[in-house]
């Protein structure tokens, strides 16, 4: 049986948090404790990250299956950040009866830029994948720095990110590479169209990984959505603007 590590805080209506690439549930801890003043908050380590076992094949569908098995609640609000948002879209498509509402936090149903979609340049992901093979740790640090690039308190946030990340050993290189492959290849716009629950889109207007136009693109696909732009936030608004994000979620769930 696949071991999926989780941390649970608080009581009340359940909210499940899914972290991003190369991270683990510890990244949520301060934020989760604030959110847990109103809800039961469950933070999951995705396979191969933190204290969770890895899986084969390493696909969005198989990740969605093992994470859903780790949540005993019959229905809940699902929040996915970055790669976690891609996983959340997949879980909502496969298990619609269990998802009451969905929050896409600094996420994108299609990370890579296309003629008809705003996204990240594929060369950036290819560069990360190549550098992982040469030197894993500096590549991860560079990725962390991108998440707070250009922010007023970027240095302080980067320090907090590093401290959280170093609680656990880094994921193995094959897992990191497979995660980048998912980001590069996944196109979940059909999953977005198929949603049958309310959707909240939370973005930072200074996010260097998710273009601000993505929220508008998502609303065009799925009308039953609410978009919140966090001024001055980058890719980690739950750290840089914690109180605002907590209040925003409390008004939605």
Q: How many residues does the chain have?
A: 253
Question: Residue 188: phi, psi to the nearest 5?
Answer: -105, 25
Q: Classify 155 as helix, strand or coil.
A: helix
5, 19, 49, 235: the catalytic one is: 235
Residue linked to tokens 């049958």: 196
Say which residue the tokens 């299609």 belong to: 110
Catalytic residue chosen out of the listed positions 207, 225, 240, 241: 207
Question: What single DSSP character describes residue 108?
Answer: -
Tell me whether residue 241 is one of the annotated catalytic residues.
Answer: no
What is the C-alpha to C-alpha distance for residues 140 and 194, in angstroms, rounded to an integer?
34
Catalytic site includes residue 82: yes
Provide the CA 218 distance to its chain's centre, in angstroms: 16
Cα–Cα nearest to 235, from 205, 201, 213? 205
Q: Are strands 6-9 and 40-44 parallel, antiparallel or unpaired?
A: antiparallel
178 burial (CB, 10 Å; 0-12 / 13-18 / 19+) is buried
Which string of b and e fits 56-73 if b means at least 16 CB within 10 Å? eebbbeebbbbbbebbee
Known active-site residue 25: no
Cβ–Cβ under 8 Å, residues 65 and 46: no
Q: Which of 82, 86, 101, 240 is catalytic?
A: 82
Instruction: Write out the catalytic residue numbers.
Output: 82, 207, 235
């Amino acid at each position: 049986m696949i071991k999926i590590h989780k941390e649970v805080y608080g009581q009340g209506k359940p909210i499940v948090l899914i972290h991003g690439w190369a991270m683990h549930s510890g990244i949520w801890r301060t934020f989760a404790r604030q959110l847990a003043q109103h809800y039961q908050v469950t933070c999951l380590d995705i396979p191969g990250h933190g204290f969770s076992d890895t899986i084969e094949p390493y696909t969005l569908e198989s990740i969605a299956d093992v994470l859903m098995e780790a949540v005993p609640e019959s229905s809940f609000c699902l929040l996915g950040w970055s790669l976690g948002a891609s996983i959340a879209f997949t879980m909502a498509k496969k298990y619609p009866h269990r998802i009451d509402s969905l929050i896409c936090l600094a996420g994108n149903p299609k990370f890579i830029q296309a003629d008809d979609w705003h996204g990240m340049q594929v060369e950036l992901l290819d560069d990360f994948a190549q550098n992982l093979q040469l030197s894993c740790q500096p590549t991860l640090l560079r990725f962390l720095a991108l998440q707070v690039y250009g922010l007023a308190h970027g240095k302080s946030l980067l320090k907090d990110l590093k401290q959280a990340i170093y609680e656990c050993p880094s994921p193995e290189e094959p897992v990191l590479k497979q995660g980048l492959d998912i980001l590069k290849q996944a196109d979940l716009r059909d999953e977005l169209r198929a949603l049958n629950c309310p959707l909240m889109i939370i973005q930072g207007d200074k996010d260097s990984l998710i273009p601000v136009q993505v929220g508008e693109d998502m609303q065009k696909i799925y009308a039953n959505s609410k978009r919140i732009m966090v001024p001055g936030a980058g890719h980690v608004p739950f750290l840089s603007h914690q109180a605002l994000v907590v209040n925003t979620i409390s008004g939605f769930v």
